[in-house]
Amino acid sequence: MSLTRALADQMDTDGPPAQIWRSAIGCLPAMGLSKVIYMDLSKNDAPLILTNASESWAEPYRDTVRKELDPFARNCLTGFATQLTGIGHSDTHSQLSQVELGQVAQGSAALDICTGMSVTIQADARGAGVGLNLMTNLCANQFAELRREHENTWRAWCQFVYASLATSSASHPWASLTTKQRDCLAYVADGFRTTEVAHKLGISEATVELHMRNARMRLNAKTRDQAVAIAVRLGLI
């Protein structure tokens, strides 16, 4: 069974966002994570900020984000490059001001975390993107070891959470996917590379890429991983 399908089986994705989120954070212990923040700032009039932290911390934090004072949004949602987060990674935060470093220190203490990393789903030059902050209470060396073991799982989980929340109240033109598009998505979900998918289906690698590109467009997905996650979420594969 593919990783994405296994994660899908662990989550209840048929309810409202709050229910989906409760189900999603149930996967955190198995991935070695203690705290997570999901941030969708793509709709300025209705930003969505979810966390498994206490509500007494979460509500003031949401206010900080709304006021555009949060360093995570400004520094991690503007591009797709992974950023290390948490006070344990302060030696990598040379781009942050003293005020921002203070915010990181305060947040780390309040959440009882030390290290983490960003996963950006949708980047925006102004910081109005979509992404997650995955956090642990491990030191930097321990986090690096955990990351080597679980990063692929973390990224698949992030994509699936996004796909589940984004499609919980939205419709997608999934019925118009062709058989070949679904086949390509299914093989990719099972971990096959483009060359292997081409061999399985008896078509060229260029044709596989064409099917995947068309599937992404029809599912309104930005990346291949996102398309796979949406397809699994909608029960297409």
Task: Tell me the pLDDT band of 13, cut-offs 50, 70 and 90.
Answer: low
Q: What is the DSSP string of the chain?
A: --HHHHHHHHS--SS-HHHHHHHHHTTTGGGT--EEEEEE-SSTTS-EEEESS-HHHHHHHHHHHHTT--HHHHHHSSSSS--EESGGGGGG-TTS-HHHHHHHHHHHHHHT--EEEEEEEE--TTS--EEEEEEESS-HHHHHHHHHHHHHHHHHHHHHHHHHHHHSS----GGG--HHHHHHHHHHHTT--HHHHHHHHTS-HHHHHHHHHHHHHHTT-SSHHHHHHHHHHTT--
**Predicted pLDDT of residue 174:** 47
Residue-wise pLDDT for 69-120, tens only, equals 999 998 999 999 999 999 999 999 988 999 999 999 999 999 999 999 999 9
**Predicted pLDDT of residue 110:** 95
Q: Is pLDDT of 35 > 80? A: yes
Residue-wise pLDDT for 171-217, tens only, equals 544 456 888 999 999 998 888 899 999 999 999 999 999 999 999 88
Task: Tell me the pLDDT band of 19, cut-offs 50, 70 and 90.
Answer: confident
Give the span between the Cα atoms of 9 and 24, in whole angstroms: 11
Residue-wise pLDDT for 115-144, tens only, equals 999 999 989 988 889 999 999 999 999 999
Q: Higher confidence at residue 10 or residue 96?
A: 96
**Predicted pLDDT of residue 91:** 92
